[in-house]
Amino acid sequence: MAPQEHKVERRLAAIFAADVAGYSRLMSQDEVGTLRILTAHRQIMDRLIAEHGGRIANTAGDSILAEFPSVVDGVQCAVTIQQKLGEVAADTPEEDRLRFRIGVHVGDVIVRGGDLFGDGVNIAARLQSLAEPGGVWLSGRAHEEIEGKLPLTFEDCGEREVKNLARPIHGYAVVGTGFPANREQPRALPLPNKPSIAVLPFTNMTGDPEQDHIADGLVEEITAALSRFRSFFVISRSSSFSYKHRAFDVRQVSRELGVRYVVEGSVRKSGSRLRIMAQLIDATTGNHVCGERYDGDGSDIFDVQDRVTEAVVGAIEPSITVNEIDLARRKRPESLGAYDCVMRALPAIWSHDTETIEEGLRLAERAIALDPRYALPKAVAAWCYAHRLSYLRTTNLSEDRNKATALARDAARLDSNDPLVLTCAGAAYSIVRDFSLAHTLIGKALMLDPNSALAWQRSGWLNVYTRQPDTAIEQFHRALRLSPVDPLTFNVLIGIGRAYFDKAEYDSAAAWIEKGLREKPDAIWANRPLTAAYFHAGRMDDARLAFAAFLERFPEMTVSKILERTPGSDATKRKLAEAFRSLGLPEG
């Protein structure tokens, strides 16, 4: 059936979403054993879903999406599944258990080709991600529908902010779903064998959200300086920023990020005056290590950053000399206005959102106009132009490619010792296929800053493009450890899938790309490698569905456009071309 012939309908349904907690870790430890246990668990789940009147709509790797005509049946099925899987796993060592998390919601869904789409699906998926391993979470609407109809106890978990949804969702956890340990905290990440630290978002005390960038800039600069000390293990700012506007216990942060220390702080601005509070905490105990208050003029912001860095380093590792701290400082711009623009533009580096990236580009170009010799905005702008190519958003391929190349060249020339400059410039070079220069710049970035999750991620992609898949997979996993809760996790997962594609392990490739798409459903461009992975795995029905999703977002795409917009080897491009030609994509 041609993609456009799939009938699309809307209906109200109880939506059941499930996936395996810690699946990536289990697969990396024992891929064959994990798949064997997953298959056995899926047989149990498939049977119970059918027995409760449900229909499985989408399956991808370790996840299941099903619909039920009755929310009572859907919730009862979820609880029964967790109880049954708990019984089956009773004799399995704790660290080897496959625990599903399940979310249930009632809402409007779009049905196409048997698959489910829409906000209702997204809410169920987010509820599932909030559930503890072995647990079941319901939306407020689902809880209201079943209240008093099932002999279950619920814990009101309140409203939660979740990715890709404009409004918070109200969640209810089913208490006691079968796994004896399902109410415990997730296993803590192990502490590295060196001082480990996360710089958490500073609180903006001005009451003006427009001043957030001042606090965020401090965190970025302090993190960047600390990261350059090889004797430290420093968590990426991307993971640290996942705690922004959240209430948390620092001991929870220690467990989730696998660090001993955290830096917390606040920023208060009145006129041109700044007051900054910063403190270092032993997050394993919650004990205060040191803290200080810094008062000064807004123009003193760089001095404050240096003083906070010196205080933290001195408290953790007194043997580090003042000279080493001086070397870790980033080159300062001549214009505070340019610096202000760059701090506002930085989120574009870690974003997939078109508006965020284009706003970041606009701010970076304004910073360049204010200070033409400031390298960082040129590197950010180069990466924003490369984003257009990478995410298939360019309307003028040659112009965007030329701008990315020129800006990357200028940035690296102006500052060859800033790891973030080198990473962004190197990433842009990798997208425009100057792989030699990309290797040089990203390699130097990692030499200067071995804690940069972004640099490890971009090095992973560079090794995908140059057909070094095993090195790529290793580097992607390193990026995940340095930034366990990163907004770009989806991109890393897709990258691992692309590496498996180059290893001709097409089912594994598809499973990893699927997982990335579950993290970021609007990364439709990832259906490009997913379609090819399904095709070469012989999964033609799945290939057609992925192809249909890709064409719906990119209706003007042709084989030639795909090839000219895809970085990588000729061998990989031949595999992509074969898949898309066979599925009927015009040559162009």
- The pLDDT tens digits for 296-353 are 776 667 777 677 767 766 666 654 444 544 554 556 667 778 888 888 888 888 777 8
Model pLDDT for residues 119-135, shown as the tens digit of each residue: 788 888 888 888 888 88
Q: How far is Cα of residue 45 from the mean position of the Cα atoms in its chain?
A: 28
Q: Worst-scoring range by mean pLDDT, 157-171, 182-196, 301-315?
A: 182-196
Both structure tokens of 100 = 């599903």
Model pLDDT for residues 423-437, shown as the tens digit of each residue: 999 999 999 999 999
DSSP secondary structure code for residue 558 in this structure: -
Fold classified for 3-174: Alpha-Beta Plaits (3.30.70)
Domain range annotation of the chain: 3-174, 196-329, 338-582
Whether residue 253 is predicted with pLDDT greater than 60 in this model: the reply is yes
Whether residue 1 is predicted with pLDDT greater than 70 in this model: the reply is no
Q: Worst-scoring range by mean pLDDT, 118-127, 154-163, 386-395, 575-584?
A: 154-163
Single-letter amino acid, residue 225: A
Whether residue 571 is predicted with pLDDT greater than 70 in this model: the reply is yes
Contact partners, residue 321, CB within 8 Å, separation at least 6: none
Whether residue 185 is predicted with pLDDT greater than 50 in this model: the reply is no
Model pLDDT for residues 230-243, shown as the tens digit of each residue: 778 999 888 888 88
Structure confidence at residue 339 (pLDDT): 81
Structure confidence at residue 314 (pLDDT): 65
Single-letter amino acid, residue 578: E
Task: Give the span between the Cα atoms of 387 and 390, in whole angstroms.
Answer: 5
Q: How confident is the model at residue 267 (pLDDT cuts 50, 70, 90)?
A: confident
Q: Dmax of the chain from CA atoms?
A: 69
User: For 548-574, what is the mean pLDDT?
Assistant: 90
Q: Worst-scoring range by mean pLDDT, 59-63, 202-206, 250-254, 481-485?
A: 59-63
Task: Give the span between the Cα atoms of 107 and 109, in whole angstroms.
Answer: 6
Both structure tokens of 367 = 């910073």
Contact partners, residue 388, CB within 8 Å, separation at least 6: 357, 394, 400
DSSP secondary structure code for residue 415 in this structure: -
Higher pLDDT: 161 or 455? It is: 455
Q: How confident is the model at residue 382 (pLDDT cuts 50, 70, 90)?
A: very high
Mean pLDDT is highest, among 317-321, 355-359, 436-440, for 436-440
Structure confidence at residue 500 (pLDDT): 95
User: 279 by DSSP, 3-state: which?
Assistant: strand
User: For 266-293, what is the mean pLDDT?
Assistant: 81
Task: Give the span between the Cα atoms of 494 and 513, in whole angstroms.
Answer: 4
Quote the percentage of the chain above a pLDDT of 90. 35
User: 59 by DSSP, 3-state: which?
Assistant: strand
Task: Give the span between the Cα atoms of 424 and 134, in whole angstroms.
Answer: 40
Q: Worst-scoring range by mean pLDDT, 80-84, 336-340, 577-581?
A: 336-340
**Second CATH level (architecture) for the domain 196-329:** 3-Layer(aba) Sandwich (3.40)
- Average pLDDT over the chain, rounded to an integer: 84
User: For 211-216, what is the mean pLDDT?
Assistant: 80
Q: How confident is the model at residue 167 (pLDDT cuts 50, 70, 90)?
A: confident
Whether residue 518 is predicted with pLDDT greater than 90 in this model: the reply is no
Higher pLDDT: 480 or 229? It is: 480
Structure confidence at residue 150 (pLDDT): 78
Are the C-beta atoms of 500 and 516 separated by less than 8 Å? no
Whether residue 20 is predicted with pLDDT greater than 90 in this model: the reply is no
Query: Would the pTM count as exceeding 0.85?
Result: no
Single-letter amino acid, residue 56: I
Both structure tokens of 490 = 């989806």
Q: How confident is the model at residue 519 (pLDDT cuts 50, 70, 90)?
A: confident
Q: How confident is the model at residue 294 (pLDDT cuts 50, 70, 90)?
A: confident
Structure confidence at residue 162 (pLDDT): 65
Q: Worst-scoring range by mean pLDDT, 216-220, 359-363, 397-401?
A: 216-220
Structure confidence at residue 189 (pLDDT): 79
Whether residue 565 is predicted with pLDDT greater than 90 in this model: the reply is no
The CATH classification of domain 338-582, taken from the options 3.40.50.300, 3.30.450.70, 1.25.40.10, 1.20.120.80:
1.25.40.10
